[in-house]
Structures are given as C-alpha cells and as structure tokens.
Structure 1
Amino acid sequence: MTKPENAAREYDVVISGAGLAGSAAAILLARRGARVALLERRSDPAAYKVLCTHSLTANAYPVLDELGLIPALEKAGAVHNDARWWTRWGWIEPRAAAGGPELPHAYNVRRSVLDPLIRSRAAETPGVDLLLGHQVTGLIREAGRTVGLRTSTRQGEREIRARLVVGADGKDSAVAEFAGVPSRRFENTRFGYLAHFRNLPLHGGIGQTWFLEPDMAYAFPNDDGVTVLAVLPDKKRLPAFREDLEGSFLDFVRALPEAPPIDTAERVSKIIGTVDYPLHSRRPTAPGVALIGDAALTGDPLWGVGCGWALQSARWLTEAVAPAATGRGDLDKSLAAYARTHGRRLQGHQRLAADFAKARPFNPVERLVFSAAARDESLARHMHLFASRLIGPLQFLNPRVVAKAAAVNVKHRRKAARTAS
C-alpha cells in the first residue's frame, strides 16, 4: 500500500526506484517474507519512463508470469513481440517449425501502461510500503557497510534503515554513486530519436528492425494501435539531422526498405530522443547494497533488452538474497551469488553490444550468420532466440551454427551460379 508519511522506519529491504526492476523486486521479496520499503522520487503513482523501446523481450516472460501480470497485460492490449529484421541479404523472418511449438514471445506495451500497472501491483502486495516523493540524498553506513537510506520528502528529511539497500534507480543511480560503486562506460556512436504513430500498418502486423550498417531503425507495434518508431543513425549524421529534426526523422523513415507509410499515419507524440546514450556496467553489489536494472547495467537501446533485464535482475536478486534479507542467512554470501549470476548471464551480451555500439558494419562472422539466417528458417529461429535473449553470444555464434551458416551460404551461391548460367 502507499504510505507517504506514517510507514515504519525499519525494513528488511529498502528499494530506491519504483520502476520495472524495483517494483518487481519488491513484489518477489515480499512474497518471500521480506518487509520492503519501495521508494520513488516522483510523487505521481502513474509516472512512467518516456524514453524506452516499450518492449519486453521473451526472456522476461517467466518473470511476468511469476508476477501474475500476463492476464493484465493481455487485457491492456499488449502485443506479442514477434519481429522480422531487414539486412542487405533480405529479410530474416523467424517462423515456428512445421508441427513445432510457437516461437517464444513477450510483449510490446507502452510504459505509460506498464509502469503504473506493476507499481500498483507492488503497492497492493502485503509487506510492501510504496513511498512516493522520496528522493535519496545519502546512505546510512555503519562499520563499513550500508544499513539504510537518507531521503528528502515534502515533509522533510527522513532515514529508512534496512538490512539491504537496492538501487533500482536507473543508469544515473544515486545509490550506486553514494555507495562508491565504480562504473565502466562504453561510448555509443549512434544517436536516437523516436515517435509514436497510430494506425501505422506494418508488414505482417509485427515488429520490424532495419540493420542498415551502421545505421539502425525499428518499428514496434504497441497497445491501443500505437507503434513506436525509432531511428538510430551514426553520430556522423547528427549535425545535418539537428538542422531539421522533424524533416530528418521523417526522411530517414521514408528511405527505409519497405518503409512503413508514416505519411498516412497519425503521429501522436513529439519526436524525442538522445544524442548521447553510453552503455554503463557496474559491479552489481557492495556491502549491504545491490543494484538491479539499468543501475547495474545499461545496454544499447537499439536492442530493446533493458526492460527484460530489469525484470530478470530483480528475480535473480530475489532468488539469491531473500532468506538472508529476512535474517536467515549470510547476506554477503548471498550478494556474491547474485553478482556471479548477473555477470554470467549479462556480461557477454554487454561486451557484444558495446562493440556494436561503435557504429560499425557487421564483422565477418556476423555477416556469415545474418546472411544465412535470411536464407534458412532454422537459422532465423536461432536468431530469434538470441534477439529474445534466451541464449547468449557463445550459443548464438557457436561453431555448429557458424558451420551451418557457411553451408547455407555455399549452397546459396551454387544455386545462384546455376541460375545465372
């Protein structure tokens, strides 16, 4: 429940940030017996993140299911995030194998729907106190570890103590800064702008991504007939883009292969974006502190993976620390286990994303696999698993897959040679 003034001042866990990661962690920890203070600096319970891909990759589906959000998302009109990807070799179009299971999915849904939904679920969870309008101003430290937060509210300053402090407060995490957690920064040499359109038909009614090497674009259909359309060009194009933002954005989209017909659609938002969005990685723990979501790792927005990783990291943290957070285990060992899981599951993805953020064309192995995936259904399904973050980079580019991709391309070239002769 929301308790802005009279909540108890001692908890098992205090979480800064009531977005996806923080709200999910609050629900999951409270269900395991923890008393949780969930802090949000904004006072509006319907506040939401504006600059986002508005997509939950399939790796998030099990967490959404555990949270009990699937029926509510379906009712809200969230769209299954099936997708196809344009490359210079043609479209990669993943389809389920004949007689096989459906491809795994999660949802595209606007954050204006998703954020208030998960935050209200957290507020309704027994054991969770949602404290709106609480800006973190410092940490409480004793004997070299963090034991709570200092916050600023409309009623004045207050202290909230807990065994564990969780930073779910985004890429510019105040918790991480106050805890002195170092950040590793990777330059992103693309900039990005997006806008929302209503009644924008897409081929097959599904998401589209364009790998233009090095530029990128995507169109994701969302709830209420709204499509999020984003462009992510190389920063070399930024000066010309800035001269006429709206015209440059629209012209970029019109020039896409099989471009969506934006001139007959209704634009229902401003064109918003960022010219500098570096990737950040932090160690996800410190004594008495855990970081989840973008506070621990901020990826490249072009991949649309941040929401899924926010939910997953909340679950990994809960699985690792729930007993210790309620006084039934060693918290430091539990935090170390969380850090290992977080690193094992995400570091490879982040390294690959940081390399691709240099706005480079595909490297030789990527050319081999992407071109083959445009020609072979099983490799297209393999691409779907990676794009959904259900497999990691080592599985995505394992020797067997590379060998199959080579065989597919050799067969394609032979067929093309026979056709030409």
Structure 2
Amino acid sequence: MTSPESAGPGYDVVIVGASLAGSAAAVLLARRGARVALLERRSDPDAYKVLCTHSLTANAYPVLAELGLVPALEKAGAVRNEARWYTRWGWITPKAAPGGPELPYAYNVRRSVLDPLIRRRAAETPGVDLLPGRRVTGLLTEGGRTAGVRAAGPDGERELRARLVVGADGRDSAVAKLAGIPARTHRNARFGYLAHFRDLPLAGGIGQTWFLEPDMAYAFPNDDGVTVLAVLPDKKRLPAFRADLEGAFLSFVRALPDAPPVDAARRVSKIVGHLDYPLHTRRPTAPGLALVGDAALTGDPLWGVGCGWALQSARWLTEAVGPAAAGHGDLDRALASYARVHQRRLRGHQLLAADFAGSRPFNPMERLVFSAAARDEAMARHMYLFASRLIGPFRFLSPPAVAKAVAINLRHRRAGAGS
C-alpha cells in the first residue's frame, strides 16, 4: 500500500534520473518557476556514468554557459575539444580561418568530474529537491495522462504527483517502459571498448578519430592528464577480443595509422565496453510525460554526441514547457512543441548514424565530402561544424557543399595529373 506525498510540498515536475539531461532540466525548469523533484536511483552523490566518450560536442556549449558551468569546468581542467580525423585520403585537421573567429568548442571531461558537478548545481538550485536512492516502480495516471510516479526509497514507497513527469533515465528508460512508449531499434554492427591512460601524448595535443571503414577508433585528451582511448571494430573481430581482451585492444591500437604510443603509456582504468549497443529512438512525449537524453534517443557512441544531445534536449524541453509546467499555459500544446523540435533537430542525424552503424564503408556522397575535407581547409571547417552537431546532415551534404567538394577534388586530380 502506498501513501501519497501529501505531507510534503507539491511538485510541478518530477524528473527521473539525475545525470546530465535530468539535472540540466531540473535547473532550467526551476529557474522558470517550477517546483521540481529530481529522483536518482543511486544514493552516492558522486555517482557517474562509466561507459561514455567523456566528450561534450560544441553544440552543448550554450547549455553549459546557461547552467553557469563553464568556469567550473575550466577550473576542473576540462580540455577544449579540438579534433582531427584520419581517413583513407589523409588527416582532416580543422583550423580557424585566417583572421576569422576560433572554431566553436565544448569540452572533453571525465564523467567522474562532470556528473557530480552538474548534480550539485541542481541540488543547489532553489526550487529543486534532489531525492537520491529512489527507484521508480510505477507511474500514476489520471484521465489517460501521467500524473506522477511511485518510487521506492530508503523511507519506503511513496507517490509524488506532478503536472509533468520527465524520463531522464537513460537508454533502458524505466519511465518509457512503464508508459508503454516503444523504442525503434537500429542494429549496431560494431562493438566497443575503452580505457583511460596517462602519459599518452597525442599529435598536436588534440583529439584523434580514425575512420578505417568499417572499423573506428578515437583518443580524446581529458582533465587531469588522462586520455580516453576507444576502439569500435566490426563485429567480425569479436572472437579475438573475447579470447584476449587486453591483447586484442592493444594490437588494434598499435595498428592505427600514426598510432599513439600506447605501449609507453600507463593504463589507469579497466577496459570496459559493450558487445552490443543498438541505437534507440522513442517518441519523446506522451500526455503528461516527456523523455530527454538517451531515454528519447540513444545514438551511436562512435560519434560522441550523447552528452551534447542530453543537454540540448533538456534545454529544448524547458524552452517549450517552462511556463506550462509551472501552471501558466497549455501543457499538451507545449509538449507537442517539444516533440516537433526534438524530431526536427535530431531525426536526420539519427537516420544517418543508424545507416552507418551497419558497419558499411563510406557511401559515394561521404567519400566526396570527406576526401575534399582532407584537401581543403574550408571544407575541413565545414565537416567540423557537422561533427560538432552545429549543422545537420542536410546542410552538411547540401548542393553548395557537394558542388564545392566536387571542385576541390577535380582540382586535386588535375594537380596530380600535371605533376
């Protein structure tokens, strides 16, 4: 038998999950006048997600700035995430245009630093009650819409009622399952492992990604002198990794073009990973309910976009439902607006990522643009904007961009023929 949360304060919003998306949504909604209960199943305030690229793409910077976290990240040693990418045509190394602004950036930072930082910001925000050690066991419904949650915690099982419930509880979202929101699943033909190293210098001191078609790898410098090194091979390589994880991991890294000196480095974490990591896409709203972060859309980890999209989706939700969540507007209309924005901003990215997750080589259009980016600084900047998720697939592969890539590659071919 459960008892309603009648003795305590009422809430406008209950958010399930106090990681990046949930904590960001709690802060932003509370600043707009909502009373927020932020539930987290883990009791440890320093809990964090272990399996992650530990990178925030540049699209996340405006959200970090709005949350007031940029100074704290800089103080914690977060590394601005410049990057370059290896392709069969050579390295793509984006640089700012001469006399132009610097390239947009966010940060590489370990989740052991980032997660407690953003959770503390939420806990310190007036209007937010952080409730750790609470696991959602059911949803409350009234008139065909979600009206709160039932949660088990240290003090037993309780009901918390609210106008809006937000699922920010990850790719295996309990909120989505309890609400009956199915996930569209896209098979991932790659698996992945990563580990943290010290004393692992990278060329130029910046992140490196290897497009090996179909295999992938990346190395990102992080705070406190730690480098995150990840391999994402085609599943045909699984037997070797199952037989000898460390040996296969190191052999894969040693074989990379311009490989980082991994044998001279010191591994300071376990080698962790997923043998199967499908991409999930869910409808981001239902009556009285919204999903943010991985609960709404789980991308392919090889692109390193999950953290950025978690923060962005929290902001999109807040911009759409802020007044209505606090009781000053039509919540259903606001949720419909959030769903439209979420789908418009992320659907194209996810479709392209799901196609590439089939472990295929580059298609003709990608070959055209990637080869041009390896040969031209302006095209490299164009690719950087896409990799940072500041432009979408349609702009990345727009007719002007394709025409420019054709011209670059023709000039390159003519120069080669004349040499």
TM-score (norm 2): 0.98
| Cα distance between partner residues in 1 of 2:279 and 2:59 | 20
Secondary structure of 2:362's partner? coil
- Contact residue 167 and residue 295 of structure 1 kept, 8 A: yes
2:411 is the counterpart of 1:411: yes
Q: Which residue of 2 aligns with 1:21?
A: 21
| Cα distance between partner residues in 1 of 2:393 and 2:185 | 20
Q: Which residue of 1 aligns with 2:46?
A: 46
Aligned AA (1:101): P
Q: Which residue of 1 aligns with 2:160?
A: 160
Q: What is the deviation of 1:418?
A: 1.1
Q: Which residue of 1 aligns with 2:204?
A: 204
2:179 is the counterpart of 1:185: no
> Judging changes above 3 Å, is the alpha-carbon distance between structure 1 residues 103 and 6 closer, same or farther for their aligned structure 2 residues?
farther
Secondary structure of 1:119's partner? helix
| Cα distance between partner residues in 1 of 2:245 and 2:326 | 52
Please show how residues 307-346 of structure 1 align to structure 2 within 5 Å: 307-346=307-346
Q: What is the deviation of 1:240?
A: 1.9
Question: What's the Cα RMSD here?
Answer: 1.0
Q: What is the deviation of 1:106?
A: 0.2
Q: Which residue of 1 aligns with 2:92?
A: 92
| Cα distance between partner residues in 2 of 1:7 and 1:213 | 59
Identity among equivalent positions (%) equals 80
| Cα distance between partner residues in 2 of 1:6 and 1:223 | 45
| Cα distance between partner residues in 2 of 1:249 and 1:306 | 24
Q: What is the deviation of 1:7?
A: 8.5
Q: Which residue of 1 aligns with 2:132?
A: 132
Q: Which digits, 9 at most, give the CA deviation of each residue in 1:352-409, with x for residues without a partner?
A: 0000000000000000000010000000000000000000000000011111111111
Q: Which residue of 2 aligns with 1:290?
A: 290
| Cα distance between partner residues in 2 of 1:333 and 1:406 | 45
Aligned AA (1:276): D
| Cα distance between partner residues in 2 of 1:8 and 1:205 | 52
Q: Which digits, 9 at most, give the CA deviation of each residue in 1:87-131, with x for residues without a partner?
A: 000000000000000000000000000000000000000000000
Q: What is the deviation of 1:417?
A: 1.1
Please show how residues 32-181 of structure 1 align to structure 2 within 5 Å: 32-181=32-181
| Cα distance between partner residues in 1 of 2:328 and 2:6 | 28
Secondary structure of 1:341's partner? helix
| Cα distance between partner residues in 1 of 2:336 and 2:7 | 30
Q: What is the deviation of 1:6?
A: 11
| Cα distance between partner residues in 1 of 2:148 and 2:52 | 30
Secondary structure of 1:197's partner? strand
Aligned AA (1:328): H
Aligned AA (1:94): P
How many pairs are equivalent?
415
| Cα distance between partner residues in 1 of 2:9 and 2:175 | 18
Q: Which digits, 9 at most, give the CA deviation of each residue in 1:308-340, with x for residues without a partner?
A: 000000000000001111111000000000000
- Contact residue 9 and residue 160 of structure 1 kept, 8 A: no
| Cα distance between partner residues in 2 of 1:288 and 1:176 | 12
Can you give the 5+ residue segments of structure 2 that lack an aligned partner in the other structure? none
Q: What is the deviation of 1:182?
A: 1.5
> Judging changes above 3 Å, is the alpha-carbon distance between structure 1 residues 45 and 365 closer, same or farther for their aligned structure 2 residues?
same
2:283 is the counterpart of 1:275: no
Q: Which digits, 9 at most, give the CA deviation of each residue in 1:178-202, with x for residues without a partner?
A: 0111210000000000000011100
Secondary structure of 2:11's partner? strand
- Contact residue 300 and residue 353 of structure 1 kept, 8 A: yes
Secondary structure of 1:280's partner? strand
- Contact residue 9 and residue 159 of structure 1 kept, 8 A: no
Q: What is the deviation of 1:10?
A: 2.2
> Judging changes above 3 Å, is the alpha-carbon distance between structure 1 residues 157 and 218 closer, same or farther for their aligned structure 2 residues?
same
| Cα distance between partner residues in 2 of 1:12 and 1:154 | 23
| Cα distance between partner residues in 1 of 2:330 and 2:236 | 51
TM-score (norm 1): 0.98
- Contact residue 7 and residue 129 of structure 1 kept, 8 A: no
- Contact residue 191 and residue 277 of structure 1 kept, 8 A: yes
| Cα distance between partner residues in 1 of 2:374 and 2:337 | 40
Q: Which residue of 1 aligns with 2:368?
A: 368
Q: Which residue of 2 aligns with 1:233?
A: 233
Q: Which digits, 9 at most, give the CA deviation of each residue in 1:194-235, with x for residues without a partner?
A: 000011100000000000000000000000000000000000
| Cα distance between partner residues in 2 of 1:216 and 1:266 | 22
Q: Which digits, 9 at most, give the CA deviation of each residue in 1:5-32, with x for residues without a partner?
A: 9983520000000000000000000001
| Cα distance between partner residues in 1 of 2:85 and 2:297 | 25
Aligned AA (2:351): R
- Contact residue 195 and residue 269 of structure 1 kept, 8 A: yes
2:244 is the counterpart of 1:249: no
| Cα distance between partner residues in 1 of 2:91 and 2:390 | 21
| Cα distance between partner residues in 1 of 2:252 and 2:264 | 16
Aligned AA (2:221): P
| Cα distance between partner residues in 1 of 2:363 and 2:10 | 53
Aligned AA (2:121): R
Q: Which residue of 2 aligns with 1:394?
A: 394
Can you give the 5+ residue segments of structure 1 that lack an aligned partner in the other structure? none
